[in-house]
Chain A
Amino acid sequence: MVSFILRRLGLMIVILFLVSIIIFSLVNVLPGDPALLVLGQEATPDQIEALRDEMGLNDPLIVQYFNWVVDVLQGDFGNSIRDNTAVTTILMQKIPVTLELTVLSFFFAILIAIPAGIISASRKGTAWDYSSTLFALSGVSVPPFFLGILFIFIFAVTLGWLPPSGYVPLTEDFGRSLLLMLMPALTIGIRLSAELTRMLRSSLLEVLQSDYIRTGYAKGLLEKSVVFGHALRNALIPVITVSGLQMATFLGGAVITETIFSVPGLGQLVVTSILTRDFPVVQGAVMFMAFAVILINFFVDILYSVLDPRIKLSGGTK
């Protein structure tokens, strides 16, 4: 266990290091001068030069990278170029939003996926199975922005049941916060649930073929007990791993959903920051997202070993 954690920490550092290099280089080859964006059309070349100096943009890239990494290691992600707020402060404001959205989306996803997956796997080849498969495929196929737009059109514009968009922190107004999150969370949740249903179905089908399921029946268990007592847990193992790996996709998928529903989360932050060349914010936010993804996968691995006693948390390579 200790060796597992050490090893994972080591890996995490390597990956984060690579992520930092990738994002740093990416951001630095972005066309567009942040100094110019800060100063706007009114700026004189002298001013721009001065500001570039101040921001350290005239240093060699290696030096810039090094400076940035040293700061990051001290917990300082720098300040936003756009509004000079500390990146950490901005992140702290955004994280709860994204967290709320993510948790809610997963909640919806699981609420839909588990029953759908079980029904379609245990009634393979029936109309239930077909409709659940079709739902799952549709969910995967509908672009998130189209679904979001459709939701707004139906529930906010036409029916007027839900507020179209916006965000209120949970702490400020619990009910309203949830109400506002309903559509974005459903938009992400439906897609996620579609993926989960597909995965659960196929992994359940495989598990249901296995010998120990036959043993279960041979013991005299009824189908219900076999499915819930023996099959589900085994089938969930790959599903959980895959959803861990999909985490990155969902953090990213939220980008557009957040934009459509004006949810001020991390995704929107990254998009606007890329477009406004707010390098420190882009770097900080992406580092955080990557960190979150890695961390989640770390926990997924632990969960994995809890669910599956065969998996020992040892230092071995996969």
Chain B
Amino acid sequence: MSEHSQLEVKNLHVGFQKKKTFTTILNGVDFSVEKGETLCIVGESGCGKSLTSLSVMGLLPKTGKVTEGQILFDGEDLTEKSQKQMSKIRGNDISMIFQEPMTSLNPVHTVGKQIAEVVQLHEKISKKKAMEKAVDMLKLVGIPSPEQRVYSYPHELSGGMRQRVMIAMALACNPKLLIADEPTTALDVTIQAQILDLMNSLKNDFDMSIVMITHDLGVVSEVADKVLVMYAGKVVEYSDVKSLFNNPQHPYTKGLIESIPKLTEETEELPIIPGSVPNPDNMPRGCRFATRCPHAQPTCFNEVPPLIETESNHKASCWMFDQRWEEIKKEGEAYASRKETAATTEPVRN
């Protein structure tokens, strides 16, 4: 077992069929999660974080498709499994928690029944036993008086309790991997703190691997071991958490960290990343961040930068870290001067 990572995603390409055109959204995502490790995926809205997790679960929408790459779980490629085989893995070996705890629970069944359902499904035990297990799980996630709460309907619980129920459900079969897609975004800060605490302690007790998706860098700094920064369907930085915050490499990551107002510092004006994410149908051929990058050179627009290891356990996908960077810069200067003489300035777009 230990020769494999718990989860290894290699060169994952995912896209959607729209009428006649096929739009690729994830464009070569690579990462791996070791046993007992927490990986955080961060990035702006729409960059493909959820899509990555859904691909792992095999729950892509009907129009979506993995076109390239592998998802190795315990060494087995999940992309080759049938729905039936996947259903044996889901909820049992890999579990998932979603962002919206209200809508992710079926409103017409009691929470106990919904937890017991997973247990019964994968462990083939009696209804009564499954119900007992549900009570245990609720106790584990810290819901008071779980014996009564199993008979509650989701709407009778608060947001934080619902998210605990989701966690209880996800953990009911001792999964090896837990995927959490923005599990605390819908919650208040004080409740978020409770949930993050809970997840941290459970991770240690269960010895699971966690893939946590978020756009809140604060949360990342709280829980992550490793961080994957995504931008427009591509990995731009992949690093150890400390190294990332102390020494962000990619211009996007840098911009991202800087643009958050800090509690400890005072600034009149926040540093910003100008512009916005390009449309998936209209991506630059090269580095996708090039349109907003202060350092961008013509090459950046045309050639895809490789994922370069800049430090140990720290990779970034940017031409700046390539040996050719100086060369590229020169070329760019030459180009810019030519352009200036042509005297057409592109309107600054915000």
Question: Chain B nearest CB: distance from A263 CB in Å?
Answer: 38
User: Which chain B residues border A210 with CB–CB below 8 Å?
Assistant: 103
Verify A220–B89 contact, CB threshold 8 A. Answer: yes
Question: Chain A nearest CB: distance from B81 CB in Å?
Answer: 12
At the interface, yes or no: A318 with Cβ under 8 Å from chain B? no
In whole angstroms, what is the CA distance A217 to B108 when docked? 17
User: Considering the complex, which residues of chain A in the window 216-230 have a beta carbon less than 8 Å from any beta carbon of chain B?
Assistant: 216-223, 229-230
Partner of B59, one of A218, A237, A308, A310: A218
Interface size of B by CB at 8 A reads: 29
Q: A220-B90, A220-B92 are in contact. Are A310 and B107 (CB under 8 A)?
A: yes
Verify A221–B87 contact, CB threshold 8 A. Answer: yes
Closest residue of B by beta carbon distance from A236: B108
Residue in B87, B118, B153, B166 whose Cβ sees the most chain A Cβ within 10 Å: B87
Q: A214-B98, A310-B153, A310-B155 are in contact. Are A219 and B118 (CB under 8 A)?
A: yes
User: Which chain A residues border B105 with CB–CB below 8 Å?
Assistant: 212, 215
In whole angstroms, what is the CA distance A212 to B118 when docked? 13
User: Which chain B residues border A307 with CB–CB below 8 Å?
Assistant: 108
Verify A219–B169 contact, CB threshold 8 A. Answer: yes
Partner of B90, one of A218, A230, A237, A310: A218
Residue in A214, A215, A217, A307 whose Cβ sees the most chain B Cβ within 10 Å: A215
In whole angstroms, what is the CA distance A229 to B105 when docked? 13
Question: Chain B nearest CB: distance from A147 CB in Å?
Answer: 36
User: Which chain B residues border A211 with CB–CB below 8 Å?
Assistant: 98, 100, 103-104
User: Considering the complex, which residues of chain A in the window 270-308 have a beta carbon less than 8 Å from any beta carbon of chain B?
Assistant: 307-308
In whole angstroms, what is the CA distance A310 to B153 when docked? 8
User: Which chain B residues border A229 with CB–CB below 8 Å?
Assistant: 117
Verify A219–B117 contact, CB threshold 8 A. Answer: yes
Verify B108–A215 contact, CB threshold 8 A. Answer: no
Closest residue of A by beta carbon distance from B92: A220
At the interface, yes or no: B122 with Cβ under 8 Å from chain A? yes
Give the interface size class of chain A.
Answer: 20 to 34
User: Considering the complex, which residues of chain B in the window 104-126 have a beta carbon less than 8 Å from any beta carbon of chain A?
Assistant: 104-109, 117-118, 121-122
User: Which chain B residues border A310 with CB–CB below 8 Å?
Assistant: 107, 153, 155
Q: A218-B96, A220-B88 are in contact. Are A309 and B108 (CB under 8 A)?
A: yes
User: Which chain A residues border B48 with CB–CB below 8 Å?
Assistant: none
In whole angstroms, what is the CA distance A223 to B83 when docked? 9
Verify B57–A218 contact, CB threshold 8 A. Answer: yes
In whole angstroms, what is the CA distance A237 to B103 when docked? 16
At the interface, yes or no: A233 with Cβ under 8 Å from chain B? yes
Question: Chain A nearest CB: distance from B93 CB in Å?
Answer: 9
User: Considering the complex, which residues of chain A in the window 189-235 have a beta carbon less than 8 Å from any beta carbon of chain B?
Assistant: 210-212, 214-223, 229-230, 233-234
At the interface, yes or no: B305 with Cβ under 8 Å from chain A? no
At the interface, yes or no: B95 with Cβ under 8 Å from chain A? yes
* 19 A-B pairs (CB sep. < 8 Å): A211-B103, A211-B104, A212-B104, A215-B106, A215-B166, A217-B57, A218-B90, A218-B96, A218-B98, A219-B90, A219-B169, A220-B90, A220-B92, A221-B91, A221-B117, A222-B83, A234-B107, A237-B108, A310-B153
Q: A215-B166, A218-B90 are in contact. List 20 more A-B contacts (CB 8 A).
A: A211-B103, A211-B104, A212-B105, A215-B104, A215-B105, A218-B57, A218-B98, A219-B90, A219-B169, A220-B91, A220-B92, A220-B122, A221-B117, A222-B83, A229-B117, A234-B106, A234-B108, A307-B108, A309-B153, A309-B155
Chain B residues with CB under 8 Å of chain A are 57, 59, 83-84, 87-92, 95-96, 98, 100, 103-109, 117-118, 121-122, 153, 155, 166, 169
